[in-house]
Amino acid sequence: MADVAAAGKRATAAPARRTLTHVRKALAFAGRYVRGWFEPGRFIPHEPPKLSIETTNICNANCVFCANRVMTRRKQPLDLDDFRKAVDEFAAMGGVDLDFNATIGDPLLDPKLLERARYVRRYPQFATLGFVTTLQWLHRFDLDEFFAAGFTWLSVSTTLSGREMYKAFFQVDKYDQMLANLVALLEENNRRGRPLNIEIAVKPTDEPLERVLAHPDFQRVNALTPQDLEETVRRQGFYVDDWLGAVTLPPYLKKRPLYPRAFRPCQLLYAGLMVYSNGKVGACSCRDFEASSDLILGHVGEQSLATLWTGERLAALREDWRRRNHVPDICRSCRHYLY
Ligand SMILES: C[S@@+](CC[C@H](N)C(=O)[O-])C[C@H]1O[C@@H](n2cnc3c(N)ncnc32)[C@H](O)[C@@H]1O
pLDDT tens-digit profile of 52-87?
999 999 999 999 999 999 999 999 999 999 999 999
* DSSP 8-state assignment for residue 128: B
Beta strands in the chain (DSSP E): 50-53, 98-99, 130-133, 153-158, 197-202, 239-240, 254-255, 272-275, 280-282, 296-299
Residue 28: what are its φ and ψ, rounded to 5°? -65, -40
Q: Using the atom order of ligand 1, give the atom closest to the CA of residue 65.
A: 19
Mean pLDDT over 194-221 rounds to: 96
- Minimum mean pLDDT range among 7-16, 159-168, 269-278: 7-16
pLDDT of residue 152: 97
Q: How confident is the model at residue 21 (pLDDT cuts 50, 70, 90)?
A: confident
Mutation pick for ligand 1 pocket among 58, 59, 63, 334 (CB with most ligand atoms within 8 Å): 63
Whole-number percent of the chain with pLDDT over 90: 86
Q: Report pTM.
A: 0.93
Tell me: pLDDT of 12 over 70.
Answer: no
- Between the two ends of the chain, the Cα-to-Cα distance in Å is 52
- The alpha carbon of 67 and the centre of ligand 1 are apart by a number of angstroms equal to 9
- Minimum mean pLDDT range among 176-190, 223-237, 319-333: 223-237
Q: Distance between CA atoms of 82 and 319, rounded to whole angstroms?
A: 30
Q: Using the atom order of ligand 1, give the atom closest to the CA of residue 59.
A: 6
Mutation pick for ligand 1 pocket among 132, 276, 289 (CB with most ligand atoms within 8 Å): 132
pLDDT of residue 1: 47
Q: Distance between CA atoms of 4 and 265, rounded to whole angstroms?
A: 54
- The alpha carbon of 66 and the centre of ligand 1 are apart by a number of angstroms equal to 6
Condensed to tens digits (0 to 9), the pLDDT of residues 214-228 reads: 999 999 999 999 999
Mean pLDDT over 104-133 rounds to: 97
Condensed to tens digits (0 to 9), the pLDDT of residues 239-280 reads: 889 999 999 999 999 899 999 999 999 999 999 999 999 999
Residue nearest to atom 11 of ligand 1 (CA): 132
- The alpha carbon of 248 and the centre of ligand 1 are apart by a number of angstroms equal to 15
Q: Distance between CA atoms of 129 and 150, rounded to whole angstroms?
A: 7
- Closest to 285 (Cα-Cα) out of 100, 88, 76, 46: 100
Average pLDDT, the chain: 94
